[in-house]
Amino acid sequence: MRRCPLCSSDKTGPFYQDRKRTIHRCKVCMLLFADASSYLPPDAELSKYRAANNKHKPMQQLISSLVTQVEQLNPNPLLGLNFGRLVNSSTIEALRQRGHHLLQYDPFFAADHSLLKQQYDFISCYKVFEHFRLPSKEWQLLCSILKPGGWIAINTQLITELNGFAKWHHKNNLTHVSFYQRATFQYLAQHAGFRLLFASNDLILVQKPPGSGITRDPSSLISS
Ligand SMILES: [Zn+2]
């Protein structure tokens, strides 16, 4: 038994094992998570990130479509944070021309902690959540640095078929340590009092309720 790194439940059990590691499943928040004994050492993790092909085009599309959504509700200049991975400067410049400002935080290559002490109209996380060893801590951070009414767009591959896990290539990357189901994001949104606007395939969209009051009215869950 391992304590779940997302909901802290001890209702977990081994779900999958191969030569390299054991993956556990939480029965409360439905997270699948790698055993901590198989985490890559810091140097090996860093060199994998250095070698990673940063996918600027899909990251730019995620950010741009998120901004288009938020613009429709908020006519003011927006302040956004690209969290966990860096996008190219042309994306930032394109947003500047639309009147918005995008800052970037990356724990390995741009770890400016002062950026985590202010609040944002939107946050984008492109292929970041699967790398979280402590998803509870990271989620609480993201919730705290989002303005009321703000949006978070998350790109991570959702597990739709537990039976297919053994053949799921996404799990073979040892820097991927947390795997989410749709129900995991329902759990996260519900516990933060956020609205889960969308969760399908690899895109998850959540909104912090506007104003100080936190609503948990299920009818407020919009799926558009
Ligand atoms: Zn859990």
Q: Are strands 101-105 and 146-155 parallel, antiparallel or unpaired?
A: unpaired
| Ligand 1 geometric centre to CA of 58 (Å) | 29
Please state whether the predicted TM-score (pTM) of the whole model is above 0.85: yes
State pLDDT tens for residues 131-147: 999 999 999 999 999 99
| Ligand 1 geometric centre to CA of 102 (Å) | 32
- Predicted confidence at residue 214, as pLDDT, reads 47
| Ligand 1 geometric centre to CA of 33 (Å) | 9
Report the 10 Å Cβ neighbour count for 30: 21
Backbone phi, psi, residue 94, to 5°? -60, -35
For the chain, the straight-line distance linking the first and the last C-alpha, in angstroms and rounded, comes to 39
CA distance 159 to 135: 16
Residues 6+ apart with CB under 8 A from 20: 38, 174
| Ligand 1 geometric centre to CA of 165 (Å) | 18
| Ligand 1 geometric centre to CA of 84 (Å) | 22
Which residues of the chain, if any, have pLDDT below 70?
53, 212-224
Report the 10 Å Cβ neighbour count for 54: 14
| Ligand 1 geometric centre to CA of 192 (Å) | 15
